[in-house]
């Protein structure tokens, strides 16, 4: 249905490019997006004064309502959309631009891209960013991303609501959501708000990555691992860390993951997860005295379901002898009167 409704040029990716099919690593990042905005919402004094705690209100409005609504959106380049808010009467879907390894919405000269952004002290606006994912059959995957605060739609359905972005100084793997893609063309659409002083990102989408599954048991699915240069264990027996996400494709009471790499074995308990939620696991794989490929056995099972066994080839690096201390961070927010000085 989506394929039939698209009436112009558009951005898209092929899911098969993200699958491991040979020696070359598969794609991870989704970089090419269509963008629409800004939609600038007029707000009352209460929001202006307490914006730190009410940023989600800016995302609650359906800015595409006059053009059929967010659930029915089928964007393509050049499509014009009615704007019921500050600024131009119509806005046009255009190709997004990448800067600083992020999808940005400014003009490239470090200034806001539209005067309408400053119609209110808090720049209460949103942008939409969308692309299509083409699949030769149904696929499950984990999508990872970071924004300044957003809602995420897949084929018109709201699948993730993260109105508050990553906090300054606290790097992590961002947001993850388990997604099920249909055979054919799928629409992935973000609705992104402006950041604030406590946000790392002012207004952008970054690190949008797609991770297919290597194993699924019941409602739990293990996605392709990532590679890091970090090691655990001892100098004599170093193990390289390969982070991975486990997604819930339905409510799950948890389960267990077993890694068998050579003579090394480790069992990892998996927590209960609601549909769409993801858990982060670290797979410690023994490293050698030189770079090598090591085939490991991975077993995944959800409580009450049969174990599903898979094999995965890890490419390990050589431990460089570094010793350090791992720190664990927690979130925090802070507020200032900076917006008043800016005004």
Is the pLDDT at 170 greater than 70? The verdict is: no
The answer to whether the CB of 293 falls within 8 A of the CB of 314 is yes
Output the six-digit token pair for 88.
Answer: 């131009």
C-alpha to C-alpha distances, 66 to 70, 82, 126, 151, 289, nearest whole angstrom: 10, 6, 16, 19, 63
Is the pLDDT at 192 greater than 70? The verdict is: yes
In whole angstroms, what is the distance from residue 34 CA to residue 206 CA?
14
Output the six-digit token pair for 163.
Answer: 């109105």
Element (H, E) at 299: strand 292-302
In whole numbers, what is the pLDDT of the chain averaged over residues? Answer: 85
Report the alpha-carbon angle 209-98-143, nearest 5. 15
Is the pLDDT at 119 greater than 70? The verdict is: no
- 4 pLDDT band, cuts 50/70/90, is low
Write the pLDDT tens digit of every residue in 54-97.
Answer: 677 889 999 999 999 999 999 999 999 999 998 889 999 999 98
Q: Furthest-apart CA pair in the chain: how many Å?
A: 67
For β-strands 90-92 and 150-154, DSSP reports them as: unpaired
282 DSSP 8-state letter: E
- 211 pLDDT band, cuts 50/70/90, is very high
**What SS3 class is residue 50?**
coil
């Amino acid at each position: 249905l989506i394929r039939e409704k698209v009436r112009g040029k558009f951005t898209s990716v092929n899911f098969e490019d993200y699958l491991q099919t040979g020696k070359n690593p598969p794609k991870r990042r989704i970089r090419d997006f269509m963008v629409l905005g800004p939609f600038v919402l007029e707000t009352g004094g209460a929001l202006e004064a307490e914006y730190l705690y009410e940023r989600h209100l800016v995302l609650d409005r359906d800015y595409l309502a006059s053009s059929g609504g967010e659930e029915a959106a089928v964007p393509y380049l050049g499509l014009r959309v009615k704007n019921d808010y500050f600024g131009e009467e119509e806005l046009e879907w255009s190709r997004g631009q990448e800067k600083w390894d992020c999808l940005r919405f400014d003009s490239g000269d470090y200034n806001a891209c539209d005067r309408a952004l400053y119609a209110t002290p808090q720049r209460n606006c949103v942008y939409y960013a969308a692309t299509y994912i083409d699949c030769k059959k149904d696929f499950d995957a984990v999508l990872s991303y970071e924004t300044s605060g957003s809602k995420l739609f897949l084929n018109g359905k709201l699948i993730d609501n993260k109105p508050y972005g990553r906090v300054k100084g606290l790097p992590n793997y961002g947001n993850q959501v388990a997604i099920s893609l249909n055979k054919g063309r799928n629409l992935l659409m973000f609705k992104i708000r402006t950041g604030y002083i406590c946000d790392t990102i002012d207004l952008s989408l970054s690190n949008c990555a797609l991770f297919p599954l290597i194993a699924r048991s019941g409602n739990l699915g293990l996605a392709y691992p990532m590679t890091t240069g970090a090691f655990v264990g001892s100098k004599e027996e170093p193990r390289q860390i390969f982070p991975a996400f486990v997604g819930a494709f339905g409510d799950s009471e948890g389960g267990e993951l077993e890694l068998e790499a050579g003579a090394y074995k480790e069992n990892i308990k998996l927590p209960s997860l609601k549909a769409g939620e993801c858990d982060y696991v670290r797979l410690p794989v023994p490293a050698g005295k030189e770079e090598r490929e090591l085939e490991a056995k991975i077993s995944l099972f959800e409580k009450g379901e049969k174990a599903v066994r898979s094999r995965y080839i890890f490419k390990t690096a050589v431990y460089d002898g570094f010793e350090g201390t791992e720190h664990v961070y927690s979130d925090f927010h802070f507020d200032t009167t900076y917006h008043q000085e800016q005004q």
